[in-house]
Amino acid sequence: MITFSGTVKRYPNGFEALRGVTLTIEKGEMVAITGHSGAGKSTLLKLAAGIELASQGSVLVSNQNLSQIREAGLAVLRQNLGMVFQDHKLLFDRSVFENVSLPLSIAAFPRAEVGKRVRAALDKVGLLNREKAQPITLSGGEQQRLCIARAIVNRPAILIADEPTGNLDQAYAATIMDLFKSFNQVGVTVLLSTHDEIGLARLNCRRIHLDQGKLVV
């Protein structure tokens, strides 16, 4: 489903965030990327989402080489990916409902379907009663769950999450990890980066460790 082949990511200042990573993530698999800050975890996830391009080697997602994909193709690919960002990337001038419905608006879903899917996603993350609230009024954990609701509302085949429990206390982190586990159990491929050892123990999934841009076996 996701394949990195000799992938190198070099930034314009010469810094190599990834150094020849070769890795395959199978369909329906759940993989956790671990490593210290600056090890290349976020870069790896950005490459998988097509946010960054590989400097060398290739990244294939659903058999599409992201270095060669056109703008429209990349947009369609992203519509089928669920992205959970470390900094949430929520729109604070819109309600909870509107934030979650954004991917559906982009994919031009009919209005009736939008309502159903948004409420189902909010229900899944336990925010159904907050649909009219503004994101600024939510706690950190709730904002993270809102971000997850937005990522799953399109019912994506792949879920990519960058430090989804980064700023949360243990109780909240456990809830979030349980959510990812439940998505994976229904066949969603999950790729996430984390520092959270306790959370990882709950996930019981394949772990990949990165150190200075290299895979450590």
- Told to check if 72 binds another protein by CB under 8 A, we report yes
Q: Of 22, 62, 65, 105, which one interacts with another protein (CB under 8 A)?
A: 105
Q: Mapping DSSP to helix (H, G, I), strand (E, B) and coil, where does residue 19 land?
A: strand
Could you tell me the smallest distance in angstroms from the CB atom of residue 91 to another protein? 6
Could you tell me the smallest distance in angstroms from the CB atom of residue 51 to another protein? 6
What tokens were used for 84?
């959970």
Contact range with another protein by CB under 8 A, out of 22-30, 72-80, 126-134, 179-187: 72-80
| x/- track of binding to another protein for residues 137-166 (CB under 8 A) | -------------x----------------
- Told to check if 78 binds another protein by CB under 8 A, we report yes
For another protein, the closer CB: 91 or 198: 91
- Told to check if 216 binds another protein by CB under 8 A, we report no
Query: Considering only CA atoms, which of 192, 183, 156 is closest in space to residue 79?
Result: 156
Q: What is the Rg, in whole angstroms, of the alpha carbon atoms belonging to the chain?
A: 17
**DSSP sequence for 110-143:** -HHHHHHHHHHHHHHTT-GGGTTS-GGGS-HHHH
Following CA atoms 178, 184, 189, 190 in sequence, which dihedral angle do they give, to the nearest 10 degrees?
10
For the purposes of burial, counting CB atoms within 10 Å of the CB of 170, is it exposed (0-12), middle (13-18) or buried (19 or more)?
Answer: exposed
| Of residues 28-47, those binding another protein (CB under 8 A) | none
Cα–Cα dist 98/55, whole Å: 36
Instruction: Give the number of residues in contact with another protein, rule: CB under 8 A.
Output: 30
- Told to check if 116 binds another protein by CB under 8 A, we report no
- Catalog residues that contact another protein under the rule CB under 8 A: 49-53, 71-72, 74-81, 83, 85, 89-91, 102-103, 105-111, 150
